[in-house]
Amino acid sequence: MKTLLFDIDGTLIATNDAGTHALSRAMRVAFDITVPNMDVKFGGRTDSSLFRELLSLNGLQPSHDNFETLCKAYKTQLPASLACCGGTVLPGVPDLLEKLTMQDGVKCCVMTGNLHATATMKLEHFGLSDYFEQIFGGDFDEDRRHLARRARLFLHGKHVQGSKDAARQQQTIVVIGDTPADINCALDINAICLAVCTGHFSHQSLELAGAHAVFKNLNDVTQVVDWLLRQ
């Protein structure tokens, strides 16, 4: 069995900062902050980490209650932000996912720093949700490597449980992402990593971070599928 763990933002879709827009509105609505300080680094983060930093930056305790309040407000604001900000599915993604679903022994999942609920919203908004069997989201882990470890443990447990002869079967995990954080996650769980230059990082920086392959984008579907199937 081969499991492909796709990142969302910058890998599958570009949302024109819809998440940032929704999060800023959520801070205003939930905590009555006229102009929220949004000076945080977004790329490669889990929302669990990002939201707590944002609360602290705006003079709020990063407590469980405040975190849950912000999550609820963000989930409420995101659909409208996705609608008004536009965005697009990145080159080759629908054709790639369509082709991968036809491959025996391959399943597509999502591993993202987004909350599970908002990851689902984004995939549904852009018509991609039906391609993925499972979403591993950033609801609980401030360190993205911990998210990767949880995903690996879940996949290993499910694979062993469903295997009649687990000792003679292997599971390969491939992480597909656009940031060094995605690559770090893959390396941390001894997975393979395919990186794409569709986010904010260059081919060289992704190579230096340790990606096993770097593509300009996912547009050459045949080449990408062939590479994935060889791993």
Q: Are residues 6 and 54 in the same domain?
A: no
DSSP 172: E
Q: Are residues 45 and 9 in the same domain?
A: no
Q: Are residues 92 and 81 in the same domain?
A: no
Q: Are residues 25 and 65 in the same domain?
A: yes
Q: Are residues 105 and 215 in the same domain?
A: yes
Structural domain ending residue among the three candidates 30, 57, 85: 85
- Residue 211 is part of which domain span? 2-15+88-230
What pLDDT, in 10s, does the model give residues 32-80?
999 999 999 888 889 999 999 999 999 999 999 999 999 999 999 999 9
Is residue 197 a contact partner of residue 206, using CB atoms and an 8 Å limit? yes
Q: Are residues 98 and 151 in the same domain?
A: yes
Can you read off the two tokens belonging to residue 32? Answer: 């009555």
Q: Are residues 166 and 66 in the same domain?
A: no
Q: Are residues 11 and 22 in the same domain?
A: no
Residue with tokens 């993205």: 144
Q: Are residues 110 and 178 in the same domain?
A: yes
109: domain CATH number? 3.40.50.1000
What pLDDT, in 10s, does the model give residues 135-177?
999 999 999 999 999 999 999 886 555 555 544 457 899 999 9
Q: Are residues 216 and 105 in the same domain?
A: yes
Can you read off the two tokens belonging to residue 121? Answer: 């919203």
How many distinct structural domains can be found in the chain? 2
- The pTM is what? 0.93
User: What percent of the chain is helix, strand and coil (3-state, nearest 5)?
Assistant: 50, 15, 35
* Angle subtended at Cα 146 by Cα 144 and Cα 128, rounded to the nearest 5 degrees: 55
